[in-house]
Amino acid sequence: MNRSSKFGTPWSTVKSVARPTRRLFQNSGASRRGNLVGLNFLFTLTDQENLRIAVEELAKQPTQLPQIDQVPDVSPNDLSQHGNNNSSLRKKGNKKFLISFNNNSNKTSSNNQKKQKSSTPSVFIITIEDRSQLLSIRRQISDFIEFDQQLRHEFPKSRPTLPSLDDRRKSFLLPRHLFTRKSTAEKLESYLRKVLSDSHLKSSAVLRDFLSVKSEKDTIRWKKTSNSNSIIDNRSVTNVVLKPHKPHKPSIDDYDLIKVLGRGCMGKVILSREKSTNRLYAVKVISKEWVVFRQEVDHTRTERDILAIASRTSHPFLIRLRESFHDSNQLFLVLDYYPGGDIATQLAKWHRFDDARCLFYAAEIVLGIEELHRLGIVDLKPENILIGRDGHIVLTDFGLSKQFNHSWQKTNTFCGTAEYLAPEIIRAEYYTFAVDWWSLGTLIYEMMFGITPFWADDQNRMYQRVLEDELEFPEDIMYDAISLLRGLLQRDPSQRLGCGPTGSLEIKSHPYFDYVDWDDVLNKRICAPYIPTIEHEMDLRNFDDVFVTMSPKLSLPKRDVPVEMQQCFTGYSFSENYMDSRSVNTLRASRSVNRSLADVTSLHRTNSSATLGCERYDRTDQDWNNSSYDLDQYISKCPTIMVGDTKYRNHLYLNKRISQFLLDDSHLNLADNSSSSSSTVERQTDVYPNS
């Protein structure tokens, strides 16, 4: 295929250089030299038609063997000497041949040559062109593999798979007519095309990082804007004056509000369509007026922080926050839309679930809670479990720290999910991750029997029952289920299932889950026993009519939020698209330093990824550098949790400690730390300047 004609790009100007590029993500000296490295190709995300992509393999550099005329002449006598280890030359006509008299060295040398040949990595030139820019970067296969792994981590659900890049075996196995030999470059090209045509992937930080300028050979050229005929401005990127990129500031105007899906204490959740991508999201709208006058600022900030932390990990069973922003009256959380409704609505419809459904949901919820605990988050609200189109669930709406408040009675008057509260919370004692295992026990009980174990008409009576009453079961229940529920609904948290030294493993290895392959659960390889009926995109039958018939319009505030109170919401904005390379690196680093972090924080169940939310919290905050006072104040207001024998102020405090630890490069032993952090600082100042 003639790529020049296909893309109209000056392929002839691309020189065949077969030098291996630096490893991707590994910022070497060049990266610290200036603002060249790390520069992004800001291709027009919505302008797919004008996006041109090409991948071409550079000719391999010939293996470096000694030049024939550099090898010294050897007398024929030398050839007869046995045991001569040195390579010698024999003349044959005009030609000279390299001969070795030592079998071993002969082998080694040819092995070395082979090795050298095969270890010379292929280098691919990726060219991407849109209306205004032309990107030309060099990557190796290993870079693609690393990129694919990053995507796999960030987007476990949907992403194109990196093709098998070695097709030799297939060529023997497949009949000839079925075997179409695609070059590696073509395979990589179609892989990249798929990535770039996925609206989520193409705006991800991982892709942004992959397509950024990493070495001096990588270039971005700007086309002359006056001429639409794809004329490239020949100035190299190094001498173009770089204007800081100001990302689009998200607002509710980016969405068409369609229908109300639900309503809670905090506000409405509205099914909305993002105008630029045509995708549906659930936008949670919270009135600032309500937040301020009900003194719920901390709660709303905590919710946003926890959502941001959870979004980082792309866990299959945790809701994903796409972005958050605010205007003068409202706060907005843009979440993935789950069309199957929530478990509460399902229970209202079916009253109780069959055994298979209970086991299926229980297993997925266990993994969701496990992940929350790994992130240092407690306080799961189990009634907030949403069902996806495929029947799998996600946990949402976690992190309302109202349940962490010491003055719990006061919190309770605000909005309660009292049925799931663990006895230690009701007794206003310090509590640990154990509270979530109690809540899980309550939820499984409810899914099995259609009623919570200590249900009562009157809330106070319910608390009393939670603290005192015997746990009762209907007669026809399986022994394993009874044993699991007794274990989870232990009043003494230290005796509760899941709270021993092996943590959640205690639950996962309980006989109730005997036939569960946890790896299959995590990878969603188990078919959901119930698939919600959804006939078309706008089918809202799984949501309560009471909400669906409400007006999706944003209501105007009855009174204005005082100007001085507006600053409470500084830094509320978040976008998953701005997870910069620092965060990616930190995430990678966090895995490698997990053990030492656990030592530092005495938090055996918290993983340092918890820092990411805090990092975002810090870094999206425009005035963060001057606002450590605010954070301290914020932390001081946060309720306390117990982790082992240590008392902590909520997860943010932990995050801050771990963040500081991570930011101290000496612990990390990462080559790319210093440079990546500097690029972050550059970029962070651009994020939502007015937020």
Active site residues: 379
341 vs 498 by CB, closer to ligand ATP: 341
Residue among 579, 648, 643, 572 at smallest CA distance from 615 = 579
| Beta-strand pair 52-57/280-287 | unpaired
Q: Is 483:471 a contact under the CB 8 Å cutoff?
A: no
- Residue 243 is given by DSSP the state P
Identified binder of ligand ATP from the candidate list 297, 347, 415, 663, rule CB under 6 A: 415
Q: Which of 342, 371, 580, 621 binds ligand ATP (CB under 6 A)?
A: 342
C-beta of residue 490 within 8 angstroms of C-beta of residue 496: yes
DSSP states of 78-108: HHH-TT--SEEEEEETTEEEEEES-HHHHHH
Smallest separation, CB 358 to ligand ATP (Å): 20
> Do the beta carbons of residue 123 and residue 57 sit within 8 Å?
yes
- Would you say 262 or 571 has its CB closer to ligand ATP? 262
Please identify, among the stretches 100-108, 222-230, 258-266, 634-642, the one whose residues bind ligand ATP according to the rule CB under 6 A: 258-266
Per the DSSP assignment, residues forming a β-bridge with 92 are 95
In whole angstroms, give the CA distance from residue 467 to residue 422: 9
- The answer to whether 369 touches 318, Cβ cutoff 8 Å, is no
**158 in helix, strand or coil?**
coil
Cβ nearer to ligand ATP, comparing 18 with 534? 534
CB atoms within 10 A of CB 235: 11
Q: Using the rule CB under 6 A, is 358 a contact of ligand ATP?
A: no
* Near ligand ATP in 459-498, by CB under 6 A: none
Q: Single out the residue of 98, 117, 110, 103 nearest to residue 18, CA to CA.
A: 117
Residues near ligand ATP (CB under 6 A), total: 22
Minimum Å distance from CB 539 to ligand ATP? 13
Q: Hey, what are 686's tokens?
A: 């651009």
Would you count residue 261 as binding ligand ATP (CB under 6 A)? yes
282 touches ligand ATP (CB under 6 A): yes
Tell me: does residue 264 bind ligand ATP (CB under 6 A): yes
Q: Does 386 bind ligand ATP (CB under 6 A)?
A: yes
Instruction: DSSP letter for 537, please.
Output: T
Query: What tokens were used for 81?
Result: 């000497």
Q: Which is nearer to ligand ATP, 210 or 281 (CB)?
A: 281
Q: Does 267 bind ligand ATP (CB under 6 A)?
A: yes
Q: Find the binding residues for ligand ATP in span 130-169 (CB under 6 A).
A: none
By CB under 6 A, which span of 257-265, 287-295, 554-562, 638-646 interacts with ligand ATP?
257-265
- The reply, when asked if residue 187 is annotated as ligand binding, is no
The answer to whether residue 423 forms part of the interface with ligand ATP (CB under 6 A) is no
Among 188, 266, 369, 668, binds ligand ATP (CB under 6 A): 266
CB 56 within 8 A of CB 185: yes
If binding is defined by CB under 6 A, does position 337 make contact with ligand ATP?
yes
Question: Is the CB of 401 or the CB of 679 nearer to ligand ATP?
Answer: 401
Q: Among 214-222, 249-257, 262-270, 459-467, which window interacts with ligand ATP (CB under 6 A)?
A: 262-270
Listed in sequence order, the residues at least 6 apart from 410 whose beta carbon sits closer than 8 Å to its beta carbon are: none
Collapsing DSSP to helix, strand or coil, 659 comes out as helix
Query: Contacts from 618-624 at CB under 8 Å and sequence distance 24+?
Result: 618/659, 619/680, 619/684, 619/687, 620/571, 620/573, 620/574, 620/578, 620/684, 620/687, 620/688, 620/691, 621/570, 621/571, 622/570, 622/571, 622/688, 622/689, 622/691, 623/570, 623/571, 624/571
10 or 416: whose CB is closer to ligand ATP? 416
335 binds ligand ATP per the rule CB under 6 A = yes
* Residue list 294-323, contact with ligand ATP (CB under 6 A): 319
Q: How far is the CB of 292 from ligand ATP (least distance, A)?
A: 16
Q: What residues contact 35, with CB distance under 8 A and at least 6 apart?
A: 242, 682
Q: 441-454: string of b/e by CB count within 10 Å (b at 16+)?
A: bbbbbbbbbeebbb
Q: Does 262 bind ligand ATP (CB under 6 A)?
A: yes
CB of 463 to ligand ATP, least distance (A): 19
Closer CB to ligand ATP, 322 or 373, in the complex: 322
- The residue with its CB nearest to ligand ATP is 264
The reply to whether 284 sits near ligand ATP by the rule CB under 6 A is yes
Q: Given candidates 265, 418, 550, 600, which one binds ligand ATP under the rule CB under 6 A?
A: 265
Q: Does 396 bind ligand ATP (CB under 6 A)?
A: yes
Q: Is residue 25 within the footprint of ligand ATP (CB under 6 A)?
A: no
**Contact in structure between 46 and 276 (CB atoms under 8 Å):** yes
List binding-site positions for ATP.
Answer: 284
List binding-site positions.
Answer: 284
Q: Which residues bind ligand ATP (CB under 6 A)?
A: 261-262, 264-267, 269, 282, 284, 319, 335-338, 341-342, 384, 386, 396-397, 400, 415
